[in-house]
Structure 1
Amino acid sequence: MRGAPVNLLRGSNLGPYRFPVIPPEFTNWRDEVRAWKDDCALLEQSYHMTELHLRGSQVIPFLSEIAVNKFDPFPVLRAKQLVLAGHDGHYIADSIIFREADDFFRIVGAPFASDWVLYNAEKCSYDVEAKKDDNFSIRSGTRDVFRVQIQGPNALALMREVSGGSLPDIKFFNIGEFKIAGKTVRALRHGMAGEPGFEIYGAWDDQHAVREALEKTGEKHNMRKVGALAYSTTAQESGWVPMPLPAIYHGEEMKPYREWLSNYFLETVASLGGSFVSDDITDYYVDPIELGYKGLIDFNRDFIGRDALLEKANNQRRTKVTLEWNDEDTKAVMEDSIFPMAATPAKFINMPMPMYATFQCDAVMKNDSLAGISTWPAFTANANRFISLALLDLEHAQPGSEVILVWGEPDSRRNTVEKHTVREIRARVAPAPYFEKVIKTGKQ
C-alpha cells in the first residue's frame, strides 16, 4: 500500500533521540558549545554509539558487496566513513569503521548502519562473524571499550601533555596508540572545529584513570565536559547529516530486511515528523551524492546500488547546504508559541535542539514551490542563531539565496506534538560545513 510506511512512521509517538547516561548539562550548554570553538571540549561517546564487531578473513570482500566505499587500500589502524546505499541508490546509513587488526573491524555510529551490515553478515557465505554491541538506550552494563572525544583549539596541546610525550604523530583518519595515566589507549585523529581532534578509546576498566587524567590536565586548557544538550548541536556546524530516514521502507528488495527487523530495532518504532508531507515514502529519502559522499564511492566495482548511484551522480538534482533561520521570524514563532496572539499557538521551538521526531523533514519553499527539505535543526551558541542542514535543488542552493522554511507538523496524529499552527520562517542559504566556512572565517 502506497501510504502505509508514511502512516506508520507519522503515527509513531516516539520523540527525538535522547542521549543516554550523560546529563543534559555539566555546566551550561551555551559555554559547552563554545568550548569546542574557543578552548577545548570533552564529548562523551561511550553510551550512545552502537558498535558492530566484524571478525574474519573475508571482511573486506563482504563489505565490498554492500558498501559504496573504496577499500583498496585499507590498512590496519586506519578508519573510513562507511556509506551504505539501497538497491536503487537511496542512502541507508553511514558510520565510522575502524580497522583494528587484519581480521578485526569496528563499525561505530547510529544503529542503522550496524543493523544493515549485521543482517547481510548473517546471510552471507563469507568468513565473517558479526557481533552487535548495542548502545545504552536499550541496555546497560559494560562494554569492551569506553570512547570520548577531545576537540577544540587546545586539544592538541592537552593531548601532548596528558600523554606524557607518548602521543604519536597521527595523520587524519589514522589511528594511533599511546598511553594516558599508564593505560594503553588508541585515538582516531579527526576534527570537528577546524582544529586537530581525537576520538580516544580503551579498555572499559581503564576509563576511570584516563578520565581523571584528562580532567585534571584539561583544567590548564579550559576544557569543558559536554552534556547531551550541547552534544546534540555538533552535527549542524560540521555539515554532517546524522540520521536521514534510511531507505528501507519500500520495495520488494528490502522486504526480507524489514521482516528481519523487530521491535527491538529503532527502524521499526521510529517516528517521522515535520512539515514536509507526502504519501510516497521515497520522497523522504536522500542519496549519498547529494549528501556529499561522491568522492568516497568506488564505481570501478559492483556493489548494492552501484548503477543507480552512477545515474544519480551523472544527474545530481540537490545538494547539501546550511540554512540560517531569520532571527526576527524565529523570534516571532517562539514568542507566539509561549504567548499566543490567537487560540492556537505556533509550534514550540526547543533550545538548543528543536527536533521533535526521530526523523525530521521540513519543507523548504521558493516562490510557493518545493525547493528541498530541511533536517536536524539547532541553535548554535557559536553563531548565536538557529541553523539547519538542508538538501536543496541546485538552482536554489547558492549561498545567500533566500528561501522559506515551513515550521510545524500539519494534521499531526502524534500525541507528542501539541496543537499548533504551521508558520513560515525566512531562511538564507549558507555553506555546509557551516563552522569552517562561516563561524571560523566569519565569511560566506
Structure 2
Amino acid sequence: MDGYFSLEDKIQATGGNPAVMLRNNPGVRHPFPYPPEWTSWHTEQYAWKNGCVLFDQGEHMSDIYFSGPDVRRLFSDTALNDMSTFTRNDAKQFVACAPDGRFIGDAVLFGMEDDSWSLVGAPIAANWVHYQAIAGGYDVEVTLDHASPYNPAPRKLWRYQLNGPLTHDVIEAVAGRQIETPKFFGVVEFEIDGTPVRALNHTMSGVPGDRLTGLELYGPREHADRVMMALMQAGEPLGLQRGGALAYVSSGHESGWWAAPIPAIFSQPELKAYREWLPGFATEASLVVDGSFESLNVEDYYLDPWELGYGRLINWNHDFIGKQALEERRDAPHKKKVWLVWNDDDFIRLMRDGLFGGDDSRTRIVSPSSLYTPSQHYDTVLRGDRFVGFSNFGGYTVNMGRVVSIATIEEADAVDGAEVEIVWGEPDGGRGRRFMEPHHVQTRVRATVATRSPAKVPVQA
C-alpha cells in the first residue's frame, strides 16, 4: 500500500543488514504504566518467596484474540505444542518456530471459549500467528488489544498476578470460600465481590507444594478497580504486598524465562513476505541487540527451542511449521539453558569501577537488573578461551542473595559448578552506540554454572 513502511523497508533503509539495524536501533524501554516500586523492590521480591505479592499485568502486555471455526487448526499448524484437546479454560506456554526450526516467539495461550483463544504477552508470537491466519486463508477473526501505552482503546480485561506461598490464603480470604487447586496451567472460575473471575494456576516463584503459590487472575475490565480493592482489603492483613515494575522484571532471574530473544525472521528469503507485512514500528523492528557478542550475521543470534528450555514442549504427533527442520536436529547436541551465578568479588569490582573508574571505567550494572540498555542482551560466555554460548538476562534478587544471569551454553559444559567467564561490556568501548557511557573497558566476570534456579527454597525470616 502507498506510504506503508514495513520491517523489510527498514532493513533495506539501514543498509540491508538486519544485524546492523538491530545493533543500531535507538531502543526505547517498554513502558510499565505503574510505579517502579510500591514499597521497595527488595521487599516486593521477598514477598513472592515468603508471603504474597500482587502485580498488575493488565497494562504492559498485549492480548490478541483469535476466534472462529479454524482456530484449533491455525494453532496446531503454528505451535510446536499439542493443541488436539485444548479448549475453554485451558492454557499453554505457546511456542512458535520459523520453517527452519529456529525460535520466533512465545506467549501464554488462553482458551477463552471453545472457539475463541487469546495470546497474552509480547506480541511477537501473536504477530506471527496473525500473519499465518491471513496468508493461510484460515476462517479466523483476529482482534487486537495491544498494551495500553500503544492502545487508544480501553483494554478488554484486567489481569492481576498473585505470587508467593500465601497466595492460597489470600485468594480464599477474598473469595470467601475454599478454592481447590487446579492442575498446573489450569484455569478455575469463581467470584470476587460479586464479579466474575478466572484464575490461571501459574507461578513466577517456583515455590513447591500442593497449595496455590501463584495465580494469574483476569476478568472484564469494568470490574478492575473493584477487584483490586477487594484483593488489597482481604490480603493486607495477611501481608499482601503490591509489586512494582522493578520487582516484576527481576522475577525472570529466578524463573529462568528468557524474555523475547531475537526472533528468527530477519534473514530467510522465504519470510520476506512476512517482513513486508510487519510494520516498521512493530516490536520486531524496534528490538535492540547489545552485549559483548557481536556479529554481522543476524542468524548468529537465533536460537532453537532446546536452547531456551522448550524442547520438552515439542509434540511430534502433529504437523507444524518448522517440524521437519527440528526433526533433522532432534538427536544432535543442543545448547542448554542454565543460570550463571556471578562471582561476588567481580560484581563488586564492576560496581566500583563503573561508578568511580574514571577513564578506565567498566560498564555500570543497575540493580535489581543488570541490563544497561533497553535491549536483547547477548554476552559471550567462555570456558577458558573457548566460546560456549550466550549470557542474557541478569540481575539480583534477595531470594538468591546473588547476581545471576540466564544463559544458553554447550550441553557438555552445562554442569553444576562448572566455572566460566562472561565477557562484560560493549566491543570497542561502546563507541558509536546509543545509551552508552562515553567510554568503557570490556572485562571478564567469573561465574559458576547452575542447572536449576538458585532460588528454589523460601528464605527464612
Q: TM-score range by the shorter chain?
A: over 0.9
Structure 2 unaligned regions, length at least 5: 1-11
Q: CA deviation at 1:290?
A: 2.1
> Does the 8 A contact of 1:240 with 1:433 survive in 2?
no
State the TM-score, normalized to the length of structure 1: 0.95
Aligned-pair distance for 1:293?
1.6
Residues 399 and 459 in structure 2, CA contact (< 8 A), matched pair in contact too: no
CA–CA distance in structure 2, aligned partners of residues 289 and 350 of structure 1:
30
SS in 1 for 2:308: coil
CA distance in 1: counterparts of 2:455 and 2:143, whole angstroms: 36
Gaps of at least 5 residues in structure 1 are none
Mean CA deviation greater in 147-156 or 375-384: 375-384
* Residue-pair matches, total: 438
- Which segment is superposed worse, 169-178 or 421-430? 169-178
Contact 1:248 1:254 in 2 (8 A): yes
Whole-angstrom CA distance in 2 between matches of 1:234 and 1:426? 23
Name which of 256, 259, 262 aligns with 2:276: 259
Partner of 1:353: 369
Q: Post-superposition shift, 1:139?
A: 2.9
Alignment match, 2:306: 289
Alpha-carbon distance between aligned partners in 2 of 1:285 and 1:213, rounded to the nearest angstrom: 44
Task: Report deviation, 1:267.
Answer: 0.9
- SS of corresponding position for 1:161: helix
> Which of 31, 42, 66 matches 1:54?
66
Matched with 1:29 is 41
Q: What is the deviation of 1:441?
A: 9.3
Q: Any residues of structure 2 matched to 1:323-338 within 5 Å, and which?
A: 323-338=340-355
Among candidates 181, 184, 199, match of residue 187 of structure 1: 199
1:250 maps onto 2:263 in alignment: no
Q: CA deviation at 1:124?
A: 2.1
Q: Quote the RMSD (CA, aligned, Å).
A: 1.7
Shift of the alpha carbon at 1:186? 0.6
Describe the shift of the 1:344–1:141 C-alpha distance in structure 2 as closer, same or farther (beyond 3 A): farther
1:122–1:130 contact (8 Å) kept in structure 2: no
Matches within 5 A, 1:162-241: 162-165=174-177, 167-195=179-207, 196=212, 197-241=214-258
CA distance 1:441–1:429, change in 2 (3 Å): farther
Question: Is contact 1:114-1:132 (8 Å) kept?
Answer: no
| Distance in 2, Cα, partners of 1:441 & 1:24 | 23
Q: What residue is the counterpart of 1:81 in the other structure?
A: 93
8 Å contact kept, 2:400–2:454: no
- Contact 1:65/1:303 (8 A) holds in 2: yes
| Equivalent pair of 2:145/2:151 in contact (CA under 8 Å) | no
Residue 141 (structure 1) shift: 4.5
Equivalent AA in structure 1 for residue 363 of structure 2: K
Question: Does structure 1 residue 400 correspond to structure 2 residue 417?
Answer: yes
Label 1:23 to 1:172 Cα distance change in 2 as closer, same or farther (>3 A): same
Deviation at 1:317, TM superposition (A): 2.4
Matched, 1:6 2:4: no
Paired residue type of 2:179: L
Distance change >3 Å, CA 132–CA 433, structure 1 → 2: farther
What secondary structure does 2:276 align onto?
helix
CA distance in 2, matches of 1:41, 1:19: 21
SS at match of 2:26: coil
How far has the Cα of 1:414 moved from its partner? 2.0
Large movers: runs of 4+ above 4 Å: 439-442
2:453 aligned with 1:426: no
Q: What is the CA distance between 1:78 and its match in structure 2?
A: 0.7
Amino acid corresponding to residue 93 of structure 2 in structure 1 = Q
Three-state SS of the structure 2 residue aligned to 1:94 is strand
Answer whether contact 1:238 1:432 (CA < 8 A) is retained: no
Question: Could you tell me how far 1:218 is from its partner in structure 2?
Answer: 1.1
Partner residue of 2:113 out of 90, 101, 108? 101
Distance across 1 between alignment mates of 2:179 and 2:100: 44
Once the two structures are TM-superposed, the CA of residue 140 in structure 1 deviates from its matched residue by 4.4
Report the alpha carbon displacement of residue 380 of structure 1 after superposing the two structures with TM.
1.4
Give the equivalent residue in structure 1 for 2:291: 274
Deviation at residue 401 of structure 1 after TM alignment = 0.3
What is the aligned-residue identity percentage?
37
Query: Is the partner of 1:254 in helix, strand or coil?
Result: helix
CA contact (8 A) 1:372 1:393 kept: yes
- Displacement, 1:166? 6.1
State the alpha-carbon separation in 2 of the partners of residues 201 and 114 from structure 1.
Answer: 19
| Equivalent residue number for residue 375 of structure 1 | 392
Query: Equivalent residue of 1:202, what SS?
Result: strand
Q: Does 1:152 align with 2:164?
A: yes
- 8 Å contact 2:76–2:83 — kept in the other structure? yes
Aligned-partner residue type, residue 89 of structure 2: L
Q: 1:107-140: CA deviations, max 9, x gaps?
A: 1011111111111112222211111211023234
Range 83-92 or range 113-122, more displaced? 113-122
Q: CA deviation at 1:357?
A: 3.4
Contact 2:362–2:443 (Cα < 8 Å) also in 1? yes
Deviation at 1:182, TM superposition (A): 1.1
Distance in 1 of aligned mates of 2:228 and 2:127: 30
CA contact (8 A) 1:364 1:403 kept: yes
Question: Relative to structure 1, is the Cα distance of residues 169 and 326 closer, same or farther in structure 2, using a 3 angstrom cutoff?
Answer: closer
Please give the secondary structure, in 1, of the residue aligned with 2:339. Answer: strand
Q: Give the Å deviation of 1:263.
A: 2.6
Contact 2:206–2:255 (CA<8 Å) still a contact in 1?
no
2:93–2:107 CA contact under 8 A, matched in 1: yes
> Aligned AA for 1:397?
A
Partner of 1:362: 379
- 1:168 deviates by 4.5
